[in-house]
Amino acid sequence: MPKKMPWLHFTEWKAQYGTIFSLNLAGQPVVVLNSHKATGDLLDRCSGIYSDRPCFIMAGELLTGGIFMVFAPYGEVWRKMCHASNKGFGQRAIEQYKVWQFKGAALNVLDIMESPQSWVDHLKVVCSTTASNILTAVYGWPWITAKDKQIVS
């Protein structure tokens, strides 16, 4: 498998192997779809048959117990996780997060205005406001900053 710009190699291989071919990457079969039509046919029209993810035993099973959506195989459990994710982070749900995002943006702007030369410190504020937004949305934690004891410790 080429490490740099693999899509260029896939395009070259299209002439030799056709629009659909498979590779063996670390013991996992990977299907390469090299045309818009083939992609639409397989992923849009027949998604129930062909949709799945590679099985990563360490990340998907041992570390996450099989309940991390990114590594979950396509099926009933994945559909339930996807539904819950859409319910919590769908277009209607994200309206409630705007308050936190505006608060974080205001803190970031204030921090930059107070010390425009301190880029490393600004990145810490960006990271802490992002983390705070996630922790508030997912776990209901109160809004925190990089200076709070929970984060510092």
* pTM higher than 0.85: no
* 1 in a structural domain: no
CA 91 vs CA 54, 66, 78, 85, 88: distances in Å: 29, 27, 20, 11, 9
**pLDDT of 153:** 54
User: Which residue range is the domain that position 99 belongs to?
Assistant: 90-152
User: For 57, which DSSP code?
Assistant: I
* 51 in a structural domain: no
Question: What is the domain count for the chain?
Answer: 1
**pLDDT, tens digit, 9 for 90 and up, residues 47-89:** 767 767 777 777 767 777 777 777 777 788 888 988 888 888 8
